[in-house]
Amino acid sequence: MMTGVSHTDVSRRAVFRGEVSGVGGLRRVAVLSVHTSPLAQPGIGDAGGMNVYVLQTALHLARRGIEVEIFTRATSSADPPITRVAPGVLVRNVVAGPFEGLDKYDLPTQLCAFAAGVLRAEAAHEPGYYDIVHSHYWLSGQVGWLARDRWAVPLVHTSHTLAAVKNAALADGDTPEPPLRTVGEQQVVDEADRLIVNTHDEAGQLVSIHGADPARIDVAHPGVDLEVFHPGDRRAARAALGLPLDEPVVAFVGRIQPLKAPDIVLRAVAKLPRARIVVAGGPSGSGLAAPDGLVRLAGELGITARVTFLPPQSREDLATLFQAADLVAVPSYSESFGLVAVEAQACGTPVVAAAVGGLPVAVRDGVSGMLVSGHDVDQWAQAIDKVLRLGSGPRAWAMSRSAAAHAATFSWENTVDALLASYRRALADFSTARRRVRDLATARITRRWTPRREVRL
The verdict on whether residue 50 carries a ligand-binding annotation is yes
Residue 69 annotated as binding site: no
Q: Tell me whether residue 444 is annotated as binding.
A: no
Tell whether residue 360 is among the known ligand binding residues.
no
With a CB cutoff of 8 Å and minimum separation 6, the contacts of 277 are: 249, 250, 251, 252, 265, 266, 269, 303, 306, 307, 308
Provide the 10 A C-beta neighbour count for residue 441: 14
Cα–Cα distance measured from residue 398 to residue 272, given in angstroms and rounded to the nearest whole number = 24
Residue 25 among known ligand-binding residues: no
154: CB partners within 8 A, 6+ apart: 132, 133, 148, 193, 194, 423, 426, 427, 429, 430
Of 19, 133, 128, nearest to 431 (Cα)?
19
Residue 105 labeled ligand binder: no
316 annotated to bind ligand: no
Q: What are the backbone angles phi and psi of residue 135, rounded to the nearest 5°?
A: -105, 145
145 near 155, Cβ under 8 Å? yes
41 is in an annotated binding site: yes
Q: Is 179 annotated as belonging to a binding site?
A: no
Q: Cβ contacts of residue 415 below 8 Å, gap of 6+?
A: 56, 57, 60, 220, 221, 222, 223
Q: What is the DSSP string of 80-120?
A: -SEEEEETTEEEEEE--S-SSS--TTTGGGGHHHHHHHHHH
260 is in an annotated binding site: yes
E strand segments, 25-167: 28-33, 67-73, 82-86, 89-94, 132-136, 155-158
Q: What is the separation of C-alpha 140 from the centre of its chain, rounded to a whole number of angstroms?
A: 12
Distance CA 325, CA 336 (A): 24
Is 229 annotated as contributing to ligand binding? no
Report the distance separating Cα 136 and Cα 224, nearest Å.
Answer: 19
- 343 assigned ligand-binding residue: yes
Report the Cα–Cα distance between both ends of the chain, in Å, rounded.
55
CB 162 within 8 A of CB 182: no
Between CA 75 and CA 78 the distance in angstroms is 9
Residue 104 among known ligand-binding residues: yes
Angle formed at CA 416 by CA 414 and CA 422, multiple of 5 degrees: 110
Instruction: Please enumerate in sequence order all residues whose Cβ is within 8 A of that of 281, keeping only pairs 6 or more positions apart, or say none.
Output: 43, 252, 253, 254, 255, 256, 260, 262, 311, 312
> Is 161 among the annotated ligand-binding positions?
yes
Is 160 assigned a ligand-binding role in the annotation? no
Query: Please, are residues 170 and 145 in contact by the beta-carbon 8 Å criterion?
Result: no
- Annotation-wise, does 349 bind a ligand? yes
Contact 15, 434 (CB under 8 A): yes
Judge whether 47 is annotated as a binding position: yes
The reply to whether 274 sits in an annotated binding site is no
Name the pairing type of β-strands 82-86 and 89-94. antiparallel
Binding site members: 35, 41-42, 46-51, 104, 137, 161, 181, 255, 260, 313, 322-323, 325, 335, 343, 349
Binding site members for Mg(2+): 322-323, 325, 349
Binding site members for UDP-N-acetyl-alpha-D-glucosamine: 41-42, 49, 255, 260, 313, 335, 343
Binding site members for 1D-myo-inositol 3-phosphate: 35, 46-51, 104, 137, 161, 181
